[in-house]
Structure 1
């Protein structure tokens, strides 16, 4: 088992890890399942980056003046289209397509054009059909809505940085900066496998959580940081962020 490579008692821990996985009490993230034990063990789920306003982090609003050359920037949207095209060509070990999500502050000069990217059909509609499509867009927006002010106010890491965005599925928010690219290390406890006599088996539940947290913590140390190593490894080892979720509520 790849996640036990750095353990002192490798065989003992490998059996422990295998047991919680084979019984579906704990399910690691897809990258961990795909890549554990490989030479390049990229085990993390997502990378959260902040794009700065310089040559390496181009993020200027359309029409803004680029001081060094005294010309107008082509803006955020053009670069997003390039990022989208690049992402579509990436897959993980030939098993899973790449995906990217972008967050833009409401005060940004291009926020209206940015929002139009999510509502491409509205300008082709009018009357009742426009109203129906608009309501649908509002509902979809609410389902994925995230308020960064609230995230920062409640962040347990507010003393070391700022939350600028979430990951692809918005289940975790982490600090990012020009020096740090946040890394998501995720897994889920299967609640349905911890029910006995129609009640939660608290002893088994606690046992699973302890093992799952050990596995997630090991992900941080074993993970391959060849992608922007300075920013990703620095962030992951400094903050050691993990996200342990739960699934199987309905089955339980």
Structure 2
């Protein structure tokens, strides 16, 4: 019997499986079968977790369409809690991803991840997010493994969010794979953020790497300091902090939802 677990990180939810239990299954095919909300478990993606040592686990990430991607902040926090819940590693441990190693610290009230990312604000662009001259906004293309297009706006409460963001997601000047799109609005000391995520091809309730990308963009624009508090669409808080030696910390919730069994069709 092969088990999976569902976890959510600030509203971004995932099926998590042990890599050792996949057998001959292709993880991308499994993701396409388990993730859809109409016919599957109903999650944003699938994560495989494989033990490398008593303090290290290897992660792989798959979108609900079966495509693989390199990193995921909310998914990494969920996988870190999963690994601790299963007794694979201690509360402080290392996650290995295609984008490098992450130091994870799992606590009862949340999970903190410390990265040494090759992240940079690649260039400033103009993005249309409305009609008329006011619809033209400054935007920033941030590279951190995945491309992120960060667009500051007066308010994230916009109509037809998916229809608005879809053309931005496929802009030719963000690269051949397109980009995740994030609308960001300041509300006092907090930044509100909404995300249109590639692979999902629609809005997700949270995006951890998107919050980090948005923090890079706001900081580059002189609109934020070394700590940025975000409120994602689910209403959950995520905190991004810039540390010494080019490291960055992402802190937020990661919660177990339920366990399940692979259906026969995926075996």
TM-score (norm 2): 0.23
Larger of the two Rg values belongs to structure: 1
Which has the larger share of helix? Answer: 1
Which has the larger share of strand? Answer: 2
TM-score (norm 1): 0.24
